[in-house]
A and B are shown apart, each in its own frame.
Chain A
């Protein structure tokens, strides 16, 4: 379906947050008309999206797959299908496990493969160091030229002197370093947050101090040497550190996962290995601080941190189970259910966390919905409520604790580069539609 029209939609204006009623005509993957439908083509495919809202360019800014070498775990195809069904149009992917994308040649092959196989647009978060060894910088400049959107060594610990150089060097390229902050000495062999529940469950704790020490150190380094840092955070103390860094005007951003907004350390009573994640689930007080941080603008981004694990890797005793939650399939419903429905955040504010801010973070320009653009957007039914079934999970990894949970707010149609990649709405012919919408024409939204 190369040409189609959407009618009666309401689009979130990413600048003002207002909802504009709109009709959209897309011909051959490009916006051919905004606000009107051509009267002459009776056979045009038309989708009535009344009752839905449209959010442009939803981005999951940090997810993992098994690509390039381990697509049994998760490949571009499976993650792409999961992403567009969830409502995501762009995913920033990093390589799982001991793989590293640390050269422009690897990155080029990676991006080419992604273009062929992934329904969503793929951005690459490549290695900060050679083989993620923490000792030698990857060719960051060449990687950036080849399209790297950001750099990361995940949660591995990098010594202060090396981190200083990594910051100085990457600041030339204006690319962010993504960090899942940890002091590996404190977190060694850790299973969960150190606290009341690690005591009563007899599991090895990882203290909040571990996360916060790394953040505090790296903020100090960035303050002195420059650079952009992006932290995945889980504690109230981390929110405070990020807030202080922002007040100083530093180029520091923070992300949280939906998982940390739904669960706390208390949910580990029962040893559900699907809840074994990094950073670990913390206390209720930490969870409240994360939500408040999102509302206050201290926390910039929500990311799935999709981490695919095989069944056998999770069907194990807690200490032996792998870390991570499969998060991409339910990313948008989890965000909407929690922040729009439960926390009453505005759609405009939510859009910032999943579109505007991730775009900035990844140095990506918004395509926009304007004449002749190849738009990216998602049509969402905010009112749809249903229980999650295992068959809803299209990614290869099923390691999610959300099966059986009821969520509200689902994508109904996802358009990537002007093409429909996912659609759960009926398609009609123009001649069968009684069109009553606004027929005024404009050039962009």
Chain B
């Protein structure tokens, strides 16, 4: 079986089979990361562009690492140094990158649908590294990969996504991916940070985190942005922490083997307490490591498909 799409734009329209394929591929590539010599040279001679039109440290360095480990070259562009400042359109920028010889473009953009837009105009793979509030498929894939390491079948497992769902691409991609695998997905956060009709996505909506905690197998905690206070999304940080923060006290009622995740960067003491973030249930750094494997797998599958 091969990956069927030219691009990886999101998980909403990705088949369950492709999702499994990526996870399986990541599993075998993760083994490479434990070797003395970590580099595989499968993608030698290929060049990927990291086109980051929004700040990112984790995702960008994870992609860069994955590209290098696969033996390919990375060209890193961020908006501060790119032509956007001179008024060049995104269309012209990516057409130029293609002409320069890019074999694939990894894009992070503040607008939902930007990767879909460039994918329409390019004959090379486009990987969505986060577009607005829409999707962050590689993050969700690495989250799911991490979950499958503790529990190989996610069917019927209860996963809570906690925090600012409205502005979260991570939440959306997780919902699409996890519901495809049969997990029961709950979302919880202040009503002002829940997007309309969220339940039509297949997720269940709750506002009282304490009522659901005892049933959960996984909690994925989302970063809360301070500036949201200013436009009335919630009154104060302390109120947020009190109603929606993941504290060790809250976790006392959880299952013994509950798994705590966070896509980073964390606001310790706000959405997640330090003793939880560093505690025995956390897999936060496994997520980071798995991110490299997932991205290696995606690069590989997209390029191999193109070579057929």
> Looking across the interface, which residue of chain A has its beta carbon closest to that of B133?
A202
Q: Is B190 an interface residue (CB 8 A)?
A: no
CB distance from B40 to the nearest CB of A (A): 34
CB distance from A274 to the nearest CB of B (A): 12
Residues of B within 8 A of A317 (CB): 90, 109, 111, 113-114, 117
> Looking across the interface, which residue of chain A has its beta carbon closest to that of B131?
A202
The number of chain A residues with a CB under 8 A from chain B is: 22
Give residues of chain B (176-202) contacting chain A, Cβ–Cβ below 8 Å. Answer: 195-198, 200-201
Q: Is the CB of B113 within 8 A of A271?
A: yes
Interface string of A253-276 (1 = CB under 8 A from B): 000000000000000001101000
Q: Is the CB of A312 within 8 A of B89?
A: yes
> Looking across the interface, which residue of chain A has its beta carbon closest to that of B195?
A199
Contacting residue for B197 out of A196, A271, A316, A320, CB 8 A: A196
Q: Is A194 an interface residue (CB 8 A)?
A: yes
Q: Is B269 an interface residue (CB 8 A)?
A: no
CB distance from B25 to the nearest CB of A (A): 26
Q: Is B27 an interface residue (CB 8 A)?
A: no
> Looking across the interface, which residue of chain B has its beta carbon closest to that of A197?
B197
> Looking across the interface, which residue of chain B has its beta carbon closest to that of A193?
B196
Q: Is the CB of A195 within 8 A of B90?
A: no
- How big is the B interface, by class? 20 to 34
Q: Is the CB of A202 within 8 A of B89?
A: no
Give residues of chain B (83-99) contacting chain A, Cβ–Cβ below 8 Å. Answer: 89-91
Give residues of chain A (135-185) contacting chain B, Cβ–Cβ below 8 Å. Answer: none
A204 to B167, CA, bound (A): 9
Q: Is A21 an interface residue (CB 8 A)?
A: no
A271 to B172, CA, bound (A): 17
Interface string of B31-66 (1 = CB under 8 A from A): 000000000000000000000000000000000000
Residues of B within 8 A of A194 (CB): 196
CB distance from B130 to the nearest CB of A (A): 10
Q: Is B116 an interface residue (CB 8 A)?
A: yes
Q: Is A132 an interface residue (CB 8 A)?
A: no
Given A316-B91, A318-B117, the answer on whether A202 and B197 have CB atoms closer than 8 Å is: no
A421 to B105, CA, bound (A): 51
Q: Is B214 an interface residue (CB 8 A)?
A: no
Q: Is the CB of A203 within 8 A of B196?
A: no
Give residues of chain A (176-231) contacting chain B, Cβ–Cβ below 8 Å. Answer: 191, 194-196, 198-205
CB distance from A318 to the nearest CB of B (A): 4
CB distance from A204 to the nearest CB of B (A): 8
Q: Is the CB of A205 within 8 A of B196?
A: yes
Q: Is B71 an interface residue (CB 8 A)?
A: no
Cβ-Cβ contact count across A and B, 8 Å cutoff:
71
A195 to B196, CA, bound (A): 5
A318 to B90, CA, bound (A): 11
Q: Is the CB of A316 within 8 A of B90?
A: yes
Q: Is A99 an interface residue (CB 8 A)?
A: no
Residues of A within 8 A of B114 (CB): 317-318
Contacting residue for A198 out of B12, B90, B195, CB 8 A: B195
Residues of B within 8 A of A273 (CB): 117
Q: Is A319 an interface residue (CB 8 A)?
A: yes
> Looking across the interface, which residue of chain B has its beta carbon closest to that of A312?
B89
Residues of B within 8 A of A271 (CB): 112-113, 116-117
> Looking across the interface, which residue of chain A has its beta carbon closest to that of B165?
A199
CB distance from B17 to the nearest CB of A (A): 21
Give residues of chain B (107-133) contacting chain A, Cβ–Cβ below 8 Å. Answer: 109-114, 116-117, 131-133
Interface string of B2-46 (1 = CB under 8 A from A): 000000000010000000000000000000000000000000000
A318 to B133, CA, bound (A): 13
Residues of B within 8 A of A204 (CB): 133
Given A316-B117, A317-B113, the answer on whether A202 and B196 have CB atoms closer than 8 Å is: no
Residues of A within 8 A of B111 (CB): 317-320
Q: Is B287 an interface residue (CB 8 A)?
A: no
Residues of A within 8 A of B131 (CB): 202
Q: Is the CB of A200 within 8 A of B132?
A: no
Contacting residue for A270 out of B90, B91, B116, CB 8 A: B116
> Looking across the interface, which residue of chain A has its beta carbon closest to that of B13?
A269
> Looking across the interface, which residue of chain A has its beta carbon closest to that of B90?
A317
Interface string of B225-263 (1 = CB under 8 A from A): 000000000000000000000000000000000000000
Q: Is the CB of A203 within 8 A of B172?
A: no
Q: Is A315 an interface residue (CB 8 A)?
A: yes
Q: Is the CB of B89 within 8 A of A315?
A: yes
**Closest 7 A/B residue pairs (Cβ):** A202-B134, A202-B112, A271-B113, A319-B111, A196-B197, A317-B114, A202-B133
Interface residue ranges, B against A (CB under 8 Å): 12, 89-91, 109-114, 116-117, 131-135, 169, 172, 195-198, 200-201
Q: What are 23 of the A-B contact pairs (CB < 8 Å)?
A: A191-B112, A196-B197, A198-B196, A199-B201, A200-B201, A202-B112, A202-B133, A202-B135, A202-B172, A203-B132, A203-B133, A271-B112, A271-B116, A271-B117, A315-B91, A316-B89, A316-B91, A316-B117, A317-B109, A317-B111, A317-B113, A318-B112, A319-B110
